[in-house]
Amino acid sequence: MCFEFERILLDRLGPGVTVIDEVTGFRYFDARDLLGFVDGTANPTGLDLPASARVGDEDADFAGGSYVVVQKYLHDMQAWARIPTPEQEAIIGRTKIDNIEIDDDDAPRKSHKSLATIEDADGNEYDILRDNMPFGRPGQNEFGTYFIGYSRYLWVTEKMLQRMYIGEPPGAYDRLLDVSTPHTGTTFFAPTRPMLQTLVQAN
């Protein structure tokens, strides 16, 4: 279905667009990424999902849409394999085999899981919807994760990335970045169908 959608979309857009990068992802064992850990465990579900991923009445002109951040990460799999499993688990913030969350509140260096958890000054947690896809070309020694995050508030994803790259406190960055390097990064706004129809009618 995705392939057919891409084909039809590019056919309709014709020379109006140029494809710069094309990544074909896939589902890996037990919803794991290529680093061996289950991905997307903290995704919102049920009624929490639209509340986390869709713009609400606080921004009526854009209500129902979603802010979408995408990034292409390439992994140094050999460097990752040299890291002992207990240290990998401390970096990710979950156990590798059974996907149990590790409490690192008192640790001097926070895990990826903790740095990607966003709270406001009152302790309210803000979720995003992640739909990350692993990808790879073993013949070219290329392995990675294509991060896709949908958020009601763009500042939530921006804060998450700030905590990963700068650290909390500053300098204590996400150790996952020692073996996982971003190669692209783009922010989109995904509008609702009525919004698109309004834009078409306005032109």
d(C-alpha 152, C-alpha 129), whole Å: 9
Paired tokens of 36: 């061996």
d(C-alpha 13, C-alpha 154), whole Å: 28
Q: Which residues is 143 bridged to in the sheet? A: 136
SS3 string of 47-107?
A: CHHHHHHCCCHHHHHHCCCEEEEEEEEEECHHHHHCCCHHHHHHHHCECCCCCCECCCCCC
Degrees (nearest 5) of the Cα angle 197, 198, 199? 90
d(C-alpha 61, C-alpha 55), whole Å: 9
Q: Which residues is 184 bridged to in the sheet? A: 72
Q: How many residues does the chain have?
A: 203
Q: Is 104 assigned a catalytic role?
A: no
- The active-site residue out of 11, 30, 39, 57 is 39
d(C-alpha 195, C-alpha 120), whole Å: 30
Residues annotated as part of the active site: 39
